[in-house]
Structures are given as structure tokens and as C-alpha cells.
Amino acid sequence: MQGKALPGFREFYPDELGLRNHIFAIWRGVAARYGFEEYDGPPLEPLELYTQKSGAEIVGQLYAFTDKGEREVALRPEMTPTLARMVGARAQALKKPIRWFAIPQLFRYERQQRGRLREHFQLNMDIIGEAGALADAELIAAAVDVMRACGLSARDVRVRVSDRRVLQALLAGMGVAAGQLDAAYAAIDRSERVPREALAEGLQAAGCSQQTIDGIFRVAGLRDLAPVTGELAAIGQSDVGAPLAEVHGALQAMGLGEFIDVDLSIVRGLAYYTGTVFELFDASKSLRAICGGGRYDGLLKALGGVDLPALGFGMGDVVLGELLKEHGVAPKLASRLDGFLICVGADDYPTVLRLAHDLRDAGLAVEYSLKPQAVRKQLELAAARAAPRAVIIGPEERTAGTAVVRDLMGGTERAVPLGTVVSELQRS
């Protein structure tokens, strides 16, 4: 027996590939309806593309090596650096806003757990060159519509929306100094997963007073737009909340408000986010985040050399596939055949081969036994292939210029002229 696939890497048998293709089709369909164009980039990139963005410590999470040309390279762990380079190379020629999407396969050397492997496919949708809040709402709406296209409702999934500008203003109002912001963000980001006492110890180590720590947890507990707006008004920072309010209002106007929760515990761990941030979860929170993203206005200048506002999200296929199976909306494999051709005897093969080619030319999917077999065996193979109809040709049919079309579901059959089998299968 040959060795197994590497840990964290998947093999896609036909049923698993059917689910993956179903997810890809939904991703592409929603992206097209939103006017996004598809792009792609190389799966192998210079290592410095990622260390430039995330620092040298990211190397331990990558599949990185020295290639035969003595170049330091890595399998891509994310798509944003590639996107930044590509946009930077043609920034002047591209009409703004740029609306691009990709479905890359990504690789990270991480500890495996439910919903996280060492490779996955991911829908990336990005809008570049638009600073207004409607762009943020547009991306969140697209993520929601992927869920709706999958057959999921607001009872099944929730989008939790926050804003880094709002968080920064409120934390400053609670006494958090600029040098303590990263520690405060980290505590808020982990506030639902880590005991408060442990988080408080970390904040104390960062120099936060007890009063400031209480304020940080108060901010982390804010839910819904009205309390957030009230807190901003209390510190004279109402204008800071305007983009978040506009995003919320736009999603309400689209009819998607039932999916949306304003939730200031959403931070997104990456330091480059500058505005709206959001994550999409299953309502029961039994899985990892299905999707996450936000506004990263300074990143393209740092990576691609062009100063353009930008925002985007990533949605992985692993968690989404788990969610579809959990809710019973994963597709069932449909029959891939329109019919199965059956030879009664070896002399019938020339007629069957001609008919098979005519049917395939007409866009129909058909199969036949590749060696002479008893009719019973051929019918068993047709049933195993889930063919809805069998087309039977024997000496009598050839003489009469007919074929017997049998409904394998209903058990009925009838003889039809050989020249009408194509239209017969097209009509059925």
C-alpha cells in the first residue's frame, strides 16, 4: 500500500470534489453578480513578500525553502501581498474602484484542528480605490449573499461588525495610551475565549490601571449600534462612528439587516486593518469564523507602492464545507449521465458506438460497457452510475431501425426510431 497524503492535505474523491465545485460555483456566481472580475497569481512567491508584511516570525508558519536558483521562496499563505503587487504594477491603467476576486489555494504550516488544515481554498474579494463606507457595506453584503446562495439564513449565520477607528477612540477615552493599544486590542480579540482574569494580568503587565482595564472590558462588551453611538457621544467623538453607522444603514437598506450584529469584540488580529472589520460565524459558534476581513487603507502603499484605499475579505472552503454538511445543505451528487447504452450482443457495438457519439455531440452524457457483457450486468452498471434511462439495442432493434428506451426509475420502456433517440433523451 502506498503512503498516505501529507498531514493537513486533502484528497478529493468525486463526492468531496462535488462539494468543492459546488462552493466554487456559488463563490463565482455571487462575485459575478456583484461585478467582480477574477484574477490569480503564482502559488510560489519570494519569501520577502510575506516577511515584508508580517515580519520574520511568519517564516515558522510557512512552507518556505531555498529553490534550485538559490532564491528564498514560499508557498503562498495568503493572497493580499500578491494582489498589492499586481495592482501596484498597473495602478495607473486600472479603472477605480477595482473590484477583483480570486480563489487561490493557500498553504500554512499550522497545527491542524477542526476547520483548519495546512492547505485550503479561499474566496478573496477586494475593492481597491474607494474610501467610502458603501464599499464596506458592499463587501459585507457579498459575504452574506454567499451564505444565502448556500441555503443558509440569518438563523444559521451572523455577521459581527466593528470598526477599528471606533475602538481606538473609545479605548483612548478609557485611558488607554497609544503604547497600550496593541495589548488592549489583543485582550478584546480574545475576550470570548480566555478568562477575564488572565487577560487582566496581561493588561496589567502592559501598564494599564484597574480603571483602564475595566474600561477595556466595557468596550469589549458593547453590542448594537445605539450603545456604541452613546459611548462615542459621551466622549465627544460622535463623528468617529459615522462610517460604522453608514455601513449598518446601507445593509439595512439592502434588506440584509437581520444578518448583522454590531459587536465591538471583533478586532481582527492583523495590525494593518484601519477601519471597518467584520467576521461571519455560524449562529451557534460551534465552528471557526467562516469569513473575516475589513478595511486596510495603508497596506497597498507598504506592499505595492501605490497609495490607494482598500478593503477585502477571505472565506475558506474548509469551514464553509463543514457548515453546509452540518446544516444539511451540502449538495447530493446528481446523476452525471443522461443515459446508458446497452448492447445485447457484440455485433450491436458499431450501432451503439455511432449513437453514443451522436448523443455526445448533442451535449448529452452517456456511457456504455467497454466489453461484451450480459444485459443484466450492463443494467447493474447503469444503476450503479445512477443513469435515469437505458437505451437498449439488439439485433431486432437494428433490423427495425429502433432502440428501446427504458426508464430505470419508473420501469417503463418503449421502442423509438433510432434517429429520434437524441431528441428523446433531450426531452426526458
- Under 8 Å CB-to-CB from 45, ≥6 apart: which residues? 73, 74, 76, 81, 82
What is the structure's pLDDT at 173? 92
**Among 265, 299, 326, residue at a domain's last position:** 326
377-391 burial by CB neighbour count: b if 16+ within 10 A, else e?
ebbebbeebebbbbb
Average of pLDDT values for 266-271? Answer: 81
Contact status, residue 162 vs residue 188, Cβ threshold 8 Å = no
Instruction: Report the domain count for the chain.
Output: 2
Instruction: Name the pLDDT band for 2 (thresholds 50, 70, 90).
Output: low
What is the structure's pLDDT at 89? 92
- Helices within 174-259 (DSSP H only): 181-189, 196-205, 210-220, 225-234, 242-253
Q: Are residues 309 and 379 in the same domain?
A: no
**Is beta strand 64-66 parallel, antiparallel or unpaired with respect to 72-75?**
antiparallel
Q: pLDDT tens across 52-67, in order? A: 877 777 888 999 999 9
Contact status, residue 191 vs residue 159, Cβ threshold 8 Å = no
Q: Are residues 376 and 272 in the same domain?
A: no
DSSP string, 302-358: HHHS----EEEEEEEHHHHHHHHHHTT-SPPPPP--SEEEEESSGGGHHHHHHHHHH
Q: pLDDT tens across 286-304, in order? A: 888 999 999 999 888 888 8
- Under 8 Å CB-to-CB from 165, ≥6 apart: which residues? 240, 243, 274, 275
Q: pLDDT tens across 98-139, in order? A: 999 999 999 999 887 777 799 999 999 999 999 999 999 999
What is the structure's pLDDT at 48? 92
Torsions phi, psi for 188 (to 5 deg)? -65, -45
CATH classification at residue 159: 3.30.930.10
Q: Are residues 177 and 313 in the same domain?
A: yes
Name the average pLDDT for the chain. 93
Range of the domain at 356: 339-427
Is residue 383 a part of any domain in this protein?
yes
Q: Are residues 355 and 300 in the same domain?
A: no
**Among 283, 302, 326, residue at a domain's last position:** 326
pTM of the model: 0.90
Torsions phi, psi for 405 (to 5 deg)? -100, 115
Is residue 72 a part of any domain in this protein?
no
159 vs 145: CA distance, rounded Å: 11
More confident position, 83 or 334: 83
- The answer to whether residue 5 scores a pLDDT higher than 90 is no
In the numeric block, the cell 482598500 is attached to 310
Assigned C-alpha cell, 317: 472552503
Q: Are residues 214 and 308 in the same domain?
A: yes
Q: pLDDT tens across 364-411, in order? A: 999 999 999 999 999 999 999 999 999 999 999 999 999 999 999 888
What is the structure's pLDDT at 270? 67
Please tell me the number of Cα atoms within 13 Å of 162 on its side-chain side.
28
Q: pLDDT tens across 221-242, in order? A: 999 999 999 999 999 999 999 9
Q: Are residues 312 and 389 in the same domain?
A: no
Is residue 167 a part of any domain in this protein?
yes
What is the structure's pLDDT at 103? 98
Q: Are residues 18 and 131 in the same domain?
A: yes
Average of pLDDT values for 205-215? Answer: 92
What is the structure's pLDDT at 1? 52
Q: Are residues 86 and 125 in the same domain?
A: yes
What is the structure's pLDDT at 79? 95
Q: Are residues 173 and 84 in the same domain?
A: yes
**Among 276, 294, 326, residue at a domain's last position:** 326
Contact status, residue 143 vs residue 159, Cβ threshold 8 Å = yes
Q: Are residues 376 and 310 in the same domain?
A: no
- The answer to whether residue 75 scores a pLDDT higher than 60 is yes
Q: Which of 104-118, 251-265, 312-326 has the lowest mean pLDDT?
A: 104-118
DSSP string, 256-276: -GGGEEEBTT---S-TT--SE
